[in-house]
A and B are shown apart, each in its own frame.
Chain A
Amino acid sequence: KAGVTQTPRYLIKTRGQQVTLSCSPISGHRSVSWYQQTPGQGLQFLFEYFSETQRNKGNFPGRFSGRQFSNSRSEMNVSTLELGDSALYLCASSESGRAGETQYFGPGTRLLVL
């Protein structure tokens, strides 16, 4: 099976712009989670989607949003970008999102905000 894919791999944006990142989960996986990785804050949970519904949300401002489509592909959007949004954004998928289930990560999208 193909792994989790994320596009684009790299992005450069300026403050105030918005950005959309895409994630395609492993075939058959219905749960998609998003994480932000920064040197200062480490790995932090953004949100999780299952069957097009957001089930869990981390402690991030409303500028961060996401959605999931009927084919389980997911997108996350960050509006009004700030310098501190520069990070590696990781997407992970699992079969049903049960606790203890293995989450498989994509290679990430590296976002640089200037």
Chain B
Amino acid sequence: GNSVTQMEGPVTLSEEAFLTINCTYTATGYPSLFWYVQYPGEGLQLLLKATKADDKGSNKGFEATYRKETTSFHLEKGSVQVSDSAVYFCALTGTGFQKLVFGTGTRLLVSP
């Protein structure tokens, strides 16, 4: 079945550091890929998405590129802020299905 693997956390960074959170997937066909963020005590918010190979999703300084050859969708940000501290989830939906399959989540802690 479909699955998502993302790096273990927590990831601890200083403000203005560069962020990478790795995400790889296993899926048949052509999945759509997502990054969601969860702040303490809240639900999930869509951060960005890509629906076909080589698409780049971007939002609020975060970027991720859909790489079919490496089955990856790594999240990057050039300069993190304290307010970016949250849990980040990589997810996919398979071909024809709405069901989201999530990775385990990566907690990001940014210190001033």
A: residues with CB less than 8 A from B are 4, 31, 33, 35, 42-43, 45, 48, 55-56, 58, 90, 92, 94, 97-108
Please name 18 further chain A to chain B contacts, defined as beta carbons within 8 Å, in addition to the given A43-B100, A45-B100, sorted by A numbering: A4-B43, A31-B98, A42-B105, A45-B101, A56-B97, A56-B98, A56-B99, A58-B99, A90-B43, A90-B44, A99-B93, A100-B49, A100-B51, A101-B98, A103-B46, A103-B98, A105-B43, A105-B44
Q: Name B46's closest neighbour in chain A (CB-CB).
A: A102
Q: Considering residues B32, B34, B98, B100, which has the most beta carbons from chain A within 10 angstroms of its beta carbon?
A: B98
B: residues with CB less than 8 A from A are 31-32, 34, 36, 42-46, 49, 51, 89, 91, 93-105
A99 with B43: CB separation less than 8 A: no
A33 with B100: CB separation less than 8 A: yes
B93 with A42: CB separation less than 8 A: no
Query: Which residues of B sit under 8 angstroms from A108, Cβ to Cβ?
Result: 42-43
Between A and B, how many residue pairs show CB distances below 8 Å? Answer: 61
Q: Considering residues A4, A100, A101, which has the most beta carbons from chain B within 10 angstroms of its beta carbon?
A: A100
A107 with B42: CB separation less than 8 A: yes
B99 with A42: CB separation less than 8 A: no
A33 with B44: CB separation less than 8 A: no
A99 with B94: CB separation less than 8 A: yes
**Shortest Cβ gap from B6 to chain A (Å):** 11
